[in-house]
Amino acid sequence: MARIEREWQAEHEGSALASELHRIMVISHRQAKGFIDCHCVTVNGEVVTKHGHRLKAADTVKVAFDPEQTYDVMPPKHKLQAGPFETLWEDTHLLFVFKPAGLLTVPTEQAGEPSLAEAITESYRRRGFKRFNLFIVHRLDRFTSGVLVFAKTPEALHGMKKLFELHRLQRVYFAILVGELPENSGTLAGHLIEHAKSLKMSVAIARKGPGGGKRMPAGAKEAVTHYRVIERLPGHTVVEVKLETGRRNQIRVQFADRGYPLLGDQVYGIESPLLDRQALHAELLGFKHPVTEEQVTVSAPMPADMEAALKALRNQARLVRAATGVKGEEGIFQPTESRDHKLKRVARAKRFDTRDEAAPARTPRPRREEGEERPRRTFGSAERPSRPRREDGEARPRPASGAPDRPARPRRNDGDERPRRTFGSAERPSRPRREDGEARPRPASSAPDRPARPRREEGEERPRRTFGSAERPSRPRREDGAVRSRPTAGAPDRPARPRREEGEERPRRTFGSAERPSRPRREDGAVRSRPTAGAPDRPARPRREEGEERPRRTFGSAERPSRPRREDGAVKSRPTAGAPDRPARPRPEGPTARPARKPFPKAGKAKPRKP
């Protein structure tokens, strides 16, 4: 480090000397305390060795450091003396202690500064525990006070780690904010990231990634904080904070990012003459015991320095109210509290010490044995007679919500069908119960004299339902295999279509006039007759035999003579496009004749190839 000589005058009234060096010289708190310990800092010409020395306005502060000069090194303490720590609750597996502000939770790499873990270990060794192991579960900031839990066995350590990973525990903090929050409750949700150089935490901001879209930077972790306003003071707000995730400096960073830093926070906020540290206190810690599975809830009282800060702020509020002439409870903030939250707050207020003797001793609830039914809770007036307990298997009585003289409904036996409920007038006769297998009677919605529908036997086909007038004759039932009769949608005297036998071809349907003669049925193998779309006297085309070539179709006038069929190998005659009386061209003979077309090979067995 280079030679340092700097002198200035203090501007703020009541600021600590170490904080003044940290702010003016832009150095860490550890370096500022090191200058003070080496007698390099003077105030108004006098050497000061106290870190928390309060400065006055216009005090002259001078720092002189010579790197060539050898300063006395503070001797390290070989054996740490057991510090004054308070045990809140303890059993075989867990230890709850009260951590004061300014004490480290665990020792740092540079030995010499006291820590709470070392103090607890030294205290147990002095009490005779030669092999005492203390496991670190979680930590609190150095200048944060409150409840801290340690594990004494590996089983408790693994169970507590799982509870913290799954966030299955209740952590309640008490904080004083600088500024007045506009709402009474809310949630701060975001991501926190740690900076490698300054080791400070900050709220991460999503940035545009290389592939498009916004992404959180690497190393950002989710942080969720729930808060509720407890009291409003001039320029300050007292809140109750519940942590859902436990990130480092989570409460301090998220409130400072929103613009309401903690009172006295010298890292993320500003200094305050009311408090020399951040106004943050771990008030309550509760969870399910990882080994015994019992609910454990431990709370710590408010420290003296925060009580003094609150007292000063409340006195200031009284002065403001007196100056403005406000009397009574006018203007005093009263947070809205639901019934569920009030019950939880009352439950948290129960301490683990002995109960007040003035309070009436409540008889403990007997523990239910395995398989025993949970008793019903009764609510209402004390004069209300207790409800008799129902025996095992006894039906629950139902209140009569209709006629008071209506007899009670008998209980149904196992397997007994539930009777139908009747609604309407009390004079309505009760519906008789149907026996097992008896068909349900259906009410007649048309003719009142219509006989009841007979019940269908098993396997019997369901009859078709008839709709319309009551005078419509009933449709006769079709026997098994009988053809369904189709209604005639044309001539009413048309005979019914005969039923087709199995394998018989379906006849073609005829459309048009009722006087059109019916088409005769074609026999198996018979050629379908085609209607003549020309002369009505043209004879029917004869059927072609198997292998016979299909004749060419003729188009045009009905008087045109039919084209004779060409024999195999005969040349196709071409029509003469000119004079209609021109004779046909004779086929050339001899060597100039056009070779006949080679006939297509007959389908048959393929000939084997020669080797």
Residues with active-site annotation: 141
The torsion angle over the Cα atoms of residues 428, 432, 433 and 435, rounded to 10 degrees, is -160
DSSP 306-364: HHHHHHHHHHHHHHHHHHHT--TTTT-------HHHHHHHHHHT--SSPPPTTSPPPPP
578, two tokens: 């000119």
182, two tokens: 């506009």
Q: How far apart are the first and last CA of the chain?
A: 105
- φ, ψ (nearest 5 deg) of residue 248: -70, 130
- CA 512 to chain CA centroid, Å, is 68
Counts for the chain of helices (H) and strands (E), in that order: 7, 17
CA distances from 332 to 208, 329, 420 (A): 47, 6, 62
To the nearest 5 percent, what fractions of the chain are helix, strand and coil?
A: 15, 15, 70
Q: What is the spatial distance between Cα 333 and Cα 230, in angstroms, rounded to a whole number?
A: 8
Residue length, the chain? 611
Q: What is the spatial distance between Cα 172 and Cα 367, in angstroms, rounded to a whole number?
A: 30
Q: What is the spatial distance between Cα 190 and Cα 224, in angstroms, rounded to a whole number?
A: 7
Task: Decide the pairing of beta strands 145-151 and 207-208.
Answer: unpaired
3 state SS for 186-234: EEEEEEEEECCCCCCEEECCCEECCCCCEECCCCCEEEEEEEEEEEEEC
Q: 3-class SS at 43?
A: strand
DSSP 143: T
Q: What is the spatial distance between Cα 540 and Cα 141, in angstroms, rounded to a whole number?
A: 112
Q: What is the spatial distance between Cα 81 and Cα 122, in angstroms, rounded to a whole number?
A: 7
Contacting residues for 33 by C-beta, under 8 A, at least 6 apart: 18, 51
Q: Are 203 and 251 in contact (CB under 8 A)?
A: no
The torsion angle over the Cα atoms of residues 589, 591, 596 and 602, rounded to 10 degrees, is 130
